Amino acid sequence: MAEKSYRDAIRDAMMEEMDRDENVLIMGEDIGVYEGTFRITAGMLKKYGPKRVIDTPIAEAGMAGTAVGMAMVGLRPIVEMMTMNFSIVAADQILNHAAKVRYFSGGQVDVPLVIRGPQGAGVQLSAQHSQSFESFYGHFPGIHVVAPGTPADAKGLLKTAIRGRDPVIFLESAALYGMKGEVPDDPDFTVPFGESRVVREGSDVTIVSYSRMLQVSLTAAERLSKDEGIEVEVIDLRTLRPLDLEPAYASVSKTHRCVVVQEQWKPFGAAAEIAASISEHNFDELDAPVERVTGEDVPMPYARNLELLATPHEEQVIAGVKKVLYANG
């Protein structure tokens, strides 16, 4: 184990897989000479050369479509979106082609493709560059949606994505790039898709979360334990599609109260899907409606103070926990 940043964990995952399999390559805007807007690809052009680290024009649909074709004939392309917000330009390639090729080919053709990049708020990139896409992509069958909340998961899940047979939307939290954590050195360390985990055990309330909101939830849980004696069980979903809610169901059977925390907007968000599933599955176990803690329903402001107000923080999570405990007075 070594302490690594989320950013370095992602780079390590890609370089280990490029060492392991010469069919793995990466393409994107400013990833080669400039070494990436978020410096994820630092040093990669030098090591692997321009055939495997490809600087593209500013043409997301073009690079996504090219990558779908590469994947169909046996390569394992990784496409870096400068931010996932730009992937909207490539939505047709991703949703109508990458997600459908196996189906349309009667199972004959796989698309082993990873589309990765940062998303979410917290780094003052304003309304067009701070959005979250898990419910957007999670809606469609045919693609996996991954949202790691720790450096180790970022590495393990990305390696699973690169080695797999399917198109994967790999959502990195821009605000977590600098976060450090223990990351296994084993080059064959991977984290399977569809295995949620209990990150913190507790008996009073279940929090279900993922990505950056996992860290916010854990901080809130520590504060609730220390200040109020409330023990929160925190579950990290890790992948939104496939979505493994079994640990959440088991936890809610124990705590009878549930808060789902997401950064994205409340309407039609991932938390809505999760809360509905828990209500369906745990109806007789619930002592309060499943609470959603989400971002404010506005375009993300650029101003630092407004951005802070528009994204969920520990205070909102704590208030949500107290609400389902009927402890708000």
Q: Which residues in this chain contact another protein in the complex, by CB under 8 A? A: 256, 283-288, 326
Output 227 or 284, the one with its CB closest to another protein.
284
Q: CA dist 155 to 30, 147, 188, Å?
A: 22, 11, 11
CB of 168 to another protein, least distance (A): 33
**Residue closer to another protein (CB basis): 72 or 260:** 260
Q: Residue 117 forms beta bridges with which residues?
A: 171
Q: Which of 16, 29, 60, 233 is catalytic?
A: 60
In the complex, least distance from residue 327 CB atom to another protein, rounded to whole angstroms: 11
Name the residue among 268, 265, 250 with its Cα closest to residue 208. 250
Is 60 noted as a catalytic residue in this protein? yes
What is the C-alpha separation between 30 and 311, in angstroms, rounded? 29
Neighbours of 290 (CB within 10 A): 22
Return the DSSP state at 98.
Answer: I
Least distance from another protein to the Cβ atom of residue 255, Å: 10
Name the β-bridge partners of 172.
118
| Residue where the block lists tokens 């007789």 | 284
In the complex, the smallest distance separating the C-beta of residue 129 from another protein, rounded to whole angstroms, is 39
Say which of 129, 172, 256, 291 is annotated catalytic: 129
State the minimum distance, in angstroms, from the CB of residue 291 to another protein.
12
Helices H / strands E in the chain, number of each: 12, 14
Query: Is 313 labeled as catalytic in the residue annotation?
Result: no
Coil/strand/helix, residue 48? helix
Q: What does the block give as tokens for 110?
A: 């796989």
Dihedral pair phi/psi, residue 210, rounded to 5°: -170, 170
Instruction: Give whole-number Cα distances, 84 to 94, 170, 205, in Å.
Output: 12, 9, 33
Catalytic residues: 60, 129
